[in-house]
């Protein structure tokens, strides 16, 4: 065929972007397929978001709350145990203090009674010696009166010494109790 316009070019070869390839096909996009893919993508996204929210509320949050309750219960249990230990320690300290005070009082009473027995024995020997020297009963009894062997009146200097010893022992008990010994 001969060119119509006088040129050597073939009309089939005239294409705005240059000569067309004989086997080139332009893909056809079907709007229904795109629409369906978009709907499927949105459905999958909503399903994933729903699954995430469901997991958070159904699994993660209850487990987190259970851990928090467990931690709170453990802390409360530890606090109660500490309180019990502290109370037991205070009770033991009080009991030890009372035991110490009782020991101090017992020691004081034993020394007092021992001194009473000593003074009673001295007066008894003096009374016997007085009688053996030929004096009568009334004279010897006035010089060497019979004294009780316990819970007696002691000379002031001896009584003051025993009382000071008791006060020192009581103060030592208090100091030990405050120190927690």
pLDDT at residue 4 is higher than 80: no
Residue 146's contacts (CB-CB under 8 Å, 6 or more residues apart) are 120, 123, 124, 127
Predicted pLDDT of residue 22: 57
Q: pLDDT by residue (tens digit) across 46-104? A: 999 999 998 988 888 888 888 999 999 999 999 999 999 889 988 988 999 999 999 99
Nearest partner of 118 among 146, 149, 144, judged by Cα: 149
Which two structure tokens, joined as six digits, stand for 65? 């709350």
Continuous segment of H or E residues that includes residue 57 = none
Q: For residues 83 and 90, what is the distance between their CA atoms, to the nearest angstrom?
A: 10
Which two structure tokens, joined as six digits, stand for 120? 């009673």
Cα dihedral 151→156→161→165 (10° resolution): 50
- Side-chain-side CA neighbours of 40 within 13 Å: the count stands at 6
pLDDT at residue 9 is higher than 80: no
Q: How confident is the model at residue 1 (pLDDT cuts 50, 70, 90)?
A: very low
Sign of CA dihedral 137, 143, 144, 146: positive
Say which range, 19-33, 85-99, 140-154, has the weakest mean pLDDT: 19-33
pTM of the model: 0.55
Average confidence (pLDDT) over 16-26: 60
Contact in structure between 101 and 133 (CB atoms under 8 Å): no
Predicted pLDDT of residue 21: 57
């Amino acid at each position: 065929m001969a060119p119509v316009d006088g040129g050597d070019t073939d009309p089939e070869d005239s294409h705005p972007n240059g000569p067309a390839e004989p086997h080139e096909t332009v893909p056809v996009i079907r709007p229904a397929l795109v629409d369906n893919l978009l709907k499927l993508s949105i459905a999958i996204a909503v399903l994933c978001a729903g699954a995430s929210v469901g997991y958070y509320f159904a699994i993660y949050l209850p487990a987190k709350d259970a851990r928090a309750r467990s931690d709170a219960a453990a802390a409360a249990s530890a606090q109660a145990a500490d309180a019990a230990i502290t109370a037991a320690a205070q009770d033991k300290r009080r009991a030890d203090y009372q035991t110490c005070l009782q020991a101090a009082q017992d020691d004081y009473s034993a020394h007092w009674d021992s001194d009473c027995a000593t003074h009673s024995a001295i007066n008894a020997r003096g009374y016997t010696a007085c009688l053996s020297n030929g004096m009568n009963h009334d004279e010897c009894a006035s010089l060497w009166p019979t004294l009780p062997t316990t819970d007696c009146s002691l000379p002031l200097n001896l009584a003051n010494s025993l009382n000071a010893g008791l006060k020192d022992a009581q103060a030592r008990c208090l100091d030990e109790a405050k120190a927690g010994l």
